[in-house]
Structure formats: structure tokens, C-alpha cells
Structure 1
Amino acid sequence: MDFDRRTLIAGSLAVAGLAGKASSPANAQTPPPTASKALPPGLPQPTETIDLWPKGPPAHLKAPLTETVDERSTDALVTDRAVYGVTRPRMAVFRPDRPNGAAVMITPGGGYRWIVVDKEGYEIARWLTARGFTAFVLFYRLPGEGWSSGPDTPLADAQRAMRLIRHRAKYFAIDPERVAAMGFSAGGHLCADLGARFAAKVYEPVDAADKLSAKPFCAAPIYPVVSMDPAIAHPGSRNLLLGPAPTPELEAAHSPDRVVPADAPPHFLVHAEDDDVVPAENTVRLRAALKDRKVPVEAHFFANGGHGFGLRRAIGKPVEIWPEMWRAWARTVGFG
């Protein structure tokens, strides 16, 4: 796709008018997940969202769900929200003051039990926008909540989200080719799954956006769940994704390291070797699979960091440099 400076400027000039239109009642979108706790002063919260499915998700539920947000923090100045029961999957949009033309779709973790809003969503989105990237935090449907699409439920949302970002690229002043994926923990599994199965048909097309590719420009699974092999799998994620007694064939189909294609996007991997929740062997196996298929990959293993360090829990440790390492790597593959 062609994308030049004139297109970028035109898109930037259109943002103000289109933002007003998008927030009008006729074009109302589902608001971001919220909790009853008062938010810290001065901490920017997203107000713009994009619903993924205009007529509802392409699957049905066994029983009704109620979207629920739990605030897990007891600190008045720090939020740590988790959302579950998502029936209207959507993206929260973070726009930079000066777009650099690149976008990142973020898939937070939560063990497929819930989706972590702040630590692995909004915080990294703010970091990215401060550096010119447009960020989209994806609130995807959870596979263990009774959707008829089963373990492909999150992937359907991730594919659709990538296509929608590209379809609306001019509106966000971004290059439709330069849309990356970044995910954490179980969201890292979704990121890696998208990097491996971007072309898998997991839903029927619903509009023109679905004619576009769902392949990320590059992918960054951070301390990811990867393998469904019981020897190294995160038990909770595996159970909620595949059920209590999956077949070997189902395990293989949903282990990104076992289905990586030769045309997978470049990958950037980070894991702490003292991770006691998701063993670092998950990242080791994904790196080996990418290397075997000659897919560009850079991997960093830190001695200390534990699990779920994101940004806030990495402060003061060597692992805190991982975002800048990703940014430097992104330039080497033509993204940053």
C-alpha cells in the first residue's frame, strides 16, 4: 500500500472533525471498561473506542455474560483493573500528539481469566504514544466464557482488530502496513497466535475491512504463554483455552511454536528466567521455531524480573530496559 507524507498530514488534519463525529450518538461506541473507584488525578484515560463487530460477535454464548471490572489496587494513586465478561469486544484508542505513522495493537494478559486493563494495557499504550506511536488496547472475548467459537474466540477478535486498524488508517494518520502486535502473558499467547495464524479463517467476513490482511508488521510477545504442552504450559490459560482434557491435536493447533509459518512476521521476545508463572521455556521454544523457519527473531532473557513485570514492576531492575530495546529493534525491521 502506498502511504506518503501528504496522506499523513491529511489524516492528521481530519482527526479533530472525525473524532467529534465518532463520539456522536449516531456513531456511539461502547465505552472503555470502567470501575467504581475514583481514578488518580492527571492520569490520562482513553475516551475513544472502536467496537469490533457492528452486528455483534460472530458466535453465540451458552449463557448471558455481564461485563465486570474489578479494581485490585488498594493504592489511591495506582489503578490495577481487570475486566471479564466482555461481550462487546473493542479497542481503546490512544493517539499521540505527533503521530509517527506507526501503530501498535496491544493484547493485555490475564491468564484468559480476565484482561488486565492498566499494567499490560494502558500503561504501555501511554509509553508508546509519548514516542509517536498510535496505540490500540484490545479488550477481547475470553475463550472460557462459553463462546461457540471456542479456542479461536480471542484470535477472531485479534484478526478483526488488525483489519479494522488498517481499514481506518487514514483517519488515524498511520501507514496501514505499519501495524504491529504486542502482547503480555496470555495476551502474549494471543499475539503469538496472531503472528502464526493471521491467515487462518476463524470467522466469516462481515464487511470491507475483512478483505485486508491480519498479519502484523512485527510481533512482540512479552513473557508469553506459548505452548499447550502440559510440561511447560500455564495451567490456567491452557484449561480456559482448550478445556480440561484437550486432544494432542488440539494442543498442537493452539501452540504457536508448532504452527509458525515461513512467512510469519519478525518477532521480538522477552522473558525473565525466574518467571514462576509462565516458564521461560515457552519463549525458548517459540524462538527455536522461528529460527527453524528462518523468520527474523530477537530474544532477550533476563535473570530477574519474575512474571507480569510490564512497566511498573520492572523499575529498578535490568529488565526495565525492555521497551527501549523493543523500540531499537523495531527500527532495524523498518517499523520504528
Structure 2
Amino acid sequence: MTDRTEPPLRPGRRAFLATVGGGAALIASTASAQTAPPATGKPGPAGLPDPVETIDLWPKGAPGMPATPPVETVTERSTDRDVTDRAVLGITRPRLVVFRPHRPNGAAVLITPGGGYRHVVIDKEGYEMGRWLCARGFTVFVLFYRLPGDGWAAGPDVALTDTQRAMRLIRHRARDYGVDPQRVAAMGFSAGGHLCADLLTRFDVRVYDPVDAADRQPARPDAAAPIYPVVSMTAPDAHPGSRALLIGADADAARERAHSPHLNVPANAPPVFLLHAEDDDVVPVENALLLRAALRAKGVPVETHLFAHGGHGFGLRKTLGKPVAAWPELFLAWAGGILV
């Protein structure tokens, strides 16, 4: 199934690169004393070194630290020595890992990887997609966000807090990265897709106190792509693990509603690209359909792609030889009418 609702073109967006001198912004120096990417203890795939540039979200530390802070830990889930499948948990210093293209097209993508709100995936839905988009001219920021089960004061809003802050920081530093602040998209996978959907619906909800000038920037993405997203917090469509960690296994209807993006869509939500496999046995396809229906009811442009086969968590690596392998190019074609 493919459903496309065309958004209006933004006048003058292609002129942006001329105003920054093309790729000249690439000479901007990297900020010092930033927290390194998650310590993987293992190199990435051969010929694909791990990125090194990062941006800490919170200059004075993340707000609302638990009384007993978690310990950041990276686990390797792959048994194949040539394929990494790393994940990080216990994040206390949320940060962006940056992928700079050789020839920036002026657009940026903020990626929120999945992990069921138990951990944050590094490779499959983070670095791999970052490299793919970066090779096509996008400046990519992979977000390692705090997890709601770690006891942060913000509770179920802690990951959204980091995502709003990340979007504002990208815009605040846009010229350093050759990015047009009006061409910044969000993309998320699974629970990270919930976070992406949460951002595209609750970008104006105040979930933290401003800390500096960056917080004067808007948190609304210019486009959003929730990929096989968790959306509903209500049975039978909710993903039980994400729901329990985000809002608690015994959450009442009010809390379920507050954290179900399809029930919070504003009329000024950005254009959306939705993707799901109908044979997803982890996050039911109904999650994407609920979000699609809510977006259409508000008149928000939405393009929807449903594939009969693909399962869950396919990212890029698990699409080989399947029709769903077309999805990155479908996203690229869609984004070309909005961001590029």
C-alpha cells in the first residue's frame, strides 16, 4: 500500500547553500570537551570507522538526575564477527553523534534509534542509517537519549526532553554544519519511532526549563519519518515492553492518552513519512495506521508505505532481497519534495 498526500513546496529553500557558500561551513571546528560516542569496545564494520564528533545536549549536565545514576553500558548482540549490533543503556550524558557529508545539501536529519526504551541501538538504526543519509548529502545527528526506566525526574517525558533539546541545538548551530534551520527532519525507529512521533505531535509542549539561547529555537521538525513506530499505549496495539518502561505497566487511561502520539496530533504538525510491515510481530501495523488516520483527520500531509513482508526492526540490513528494501529510496524521493 502506498498513500501520498503532497505538501506544499517551501519557496526559496534551494537558495540556502548559496548563502553559506556551499560546503564552506564544513571548516567549522568541532566543539571541545564533548562526551565521546558510546564506548563500544569493538570497532565498527571493516572500512566503516565509527564517528567521533559529538554534541552534548546539556552544558551543565542533564536535568533531574536520579539519586542513583545509571551506568552507561554497551552490549554487543551480534554473534557474527563481521557484523556489529551494539546497543547502549544507562545513558546519563545524552548526546548527538554527527555525520558530516562531503557535499552537504543543506538538509539535516535527527535520528532516534529504537530499543524498546530499554536501550538505544547503535548500529542497525543509528550509524548505518546515518552513513546512508550522509552519503546522499544530509548532515545527520544520531541521538543517544535518556531512558524513562532509569528514574529521571522527567519520567515518561525524559526522552522527549532530550529530543526537543536536540532539535533546538541543531538549529542553533545550523551554520556550523552547513544546515538550513528550516530543513531539519526527524526520523525514528520502533520505540525511537514513538519518540519521533512524540516530537512531531508535542514539539510545543514544555517538558523542561530553558537553559540557554538554543532553547529559543523551535523544536518542531520540518518533516518526520516514524519507521515501524510504536504509537499506541493502549492494548491490544501497544508494544508491551515499551509501554511498561515508558508509562508503567499499571498506567491509567489519562497517562496512556498523554503518551499516544495519534491522540495528540496538532493541526500544524509537519509532513510525515510512515513505513511499516504488515507482518510485524513485535509492533502491530495498526500503530502506523492509527497515526496515519489521526494525521489525515487534521489535514497533515502524510505518505504511507505498507509492505506485506519485512517483520520488525529491519533497518537497512534486514531488507536485502525483499521488496521492503526500496524504503530508503522512497524516503529520499519524498524528502526531495520537502527538504532538498
TM-score (norm 2): 0.94
Contact 1:58-1:204 within 8 A present in 2 as well = no
What is the CA-CA distance between 1:35 and the residue it aligns to?
1.9
State the identity as a percent: 64
Contact 1:30-1:51 within 8 A present in 2 as well = yes
Give 3-state SS (helix, strand or coil) of 1:141's partner: coil
Q: Deviation string for 1:125-151 (max 9, x for gaps)?
A: 000011000000000000011111000
Q: Look up the match of 1:7.
A: 19
Q: Deviation string for 1:171-217 (max 9, x for gaps)?
A: 00010110000000000000000000000000000000000100000
Within 5 Å, which residues of 2 pair with 1:306-321? Answer: 306-321=311-326
- Distance in 1, matches of 2:21 and 2:92, equals 36
Q: Look up the match of 2:27.
A: 16
Within 5 Å, which residues of 2 pair with 1:89-238? Answer: 89-238=94-243
Q: What letter matches 2:322 in structure 1?
A: K
Contact 2:43-2:50 within 8 A present in 1 as well = no
What is the CA-CA distance between 1:4 and the residue it aligns to?
3.2
- Residue 246 in 1 paired to residue 251 in 2? yes
Q: Which moved more, 1:67-76 or 1:117-126?
A: 67-76
- Distance in 2, matches of 1:9 and 1:33, equals 33
Q: 2:291 aligns with which of 286, 293, 298?
A: 286
Within 5 Å, which residues of 2 pair with 1:32-71? Answer: 32-71=37-76
Runs of 4+ in structure 1 over 6 Å off: none
- Distance in 1, matches of 2:271 and 2:21, equals 29
Give 3-state SS (helix, strand or coil) of 1:299's partner: strand
What is the CA-CA distance between 1:59 and the residue it aligns to?
1.3
- Residue 77 in 1 paired to residue 77 in 2? no
What is the CA-CA distance between 1:16 and the residue it aligns to?
2.9
Contact 2:276-2:305 within 8 A present in 1 as well = yes
What is the CA-CA distance between 1:57 and the residue it aligns to?
1.2
- Distance in 2, matches of 1:278 and 1:204, equals 33
- Residue 335 in 1 paired to residue 329 in 2? no
Alignment length (residue pairs):
328
Residue segments in structure 1 that go unaligned for 5+ positions in a row: none
What is the CA-CA distance between 1:330 and the residue it aligns to?
1.2
Q: What letter matches 2:82 in structure 1?
A: L
Flag the 1:17–1:223 CA change in 2: closer, same or farther, 3 A. closer
Q: Look up the match of 2:7.
A: none
TM-score (norm 1): 0.95
Q: Deviation string for 1:103-127 (max 9, x for gaps)?
A: 0000000000000000000000000
What is the CA-CA distance between 1:37 and the residue it aligns to?
2.6
Q: Whose relative contact order is higher, 1 or 2, with alpha carbons under 8 Å and at least 6 apart? A: 2
- Distance in 1, matches of 2:96 and 2:321, equals 31
Q: Deviation string for 1:310-333 (max 9, x for gaps)?
A: 00001110001011101111123x
- Distance in 1, matches of 2:231 and 2:326, equals 23
Give 3-state SS (helix, strand or coil) of 2:47's partner: coil
Flag the 1:6–1:301 CA change in 2: closer, same or farther, 3 A. closer
Q: Deviation string for 1:242-291 (max 9, x for gaps)?
A: 01211100000000000000000010000000000000000000000000
How large is the Cα RMSD of the aligned pairs?
1.4
Contact 2:28-2:177 within 8 A present in 1 as well = no
- Residue 304 in 1 paired to residue 316 in 2? no
What is the CA-CA distance between 1:17 and the residue it aligns to?
5.0
- Distance in 2, matches of 1:139 and 1:39, equals 17
What is the CA-CA distance between 1:77 and the residue it aligns to?
1.4
Contact 1:8-1:101 within 8 A present in 2 as well = no
- Distance in 2, matches of 1:30 and 1:309, equals 29
- Distance in 2, matches of 1:181 and 1:213, equals 13
- Distance in 2, matches of 1:270 and 1:181, equals 14
Contact 1:7-1:173 within 8 A present in 2 as well = no
- Distance in 2, matches of 1:127 and 1:153, equals 28
Q: What letter matches 1:8 in structure 2?
A: V
What is the CA-CA distance between 1:39 and the residue it aligns to?
3.4
- Distance in 2, matches of 1:228 and 1:204, equals 26
Give 3-state SS (helix, strand or coil) of 1:18's partner: coil
Q: Look up the match of 2:328.
A: 323
Flag the 1:335–1:48 CA change in 2: closer, same or farther, 3 A. same
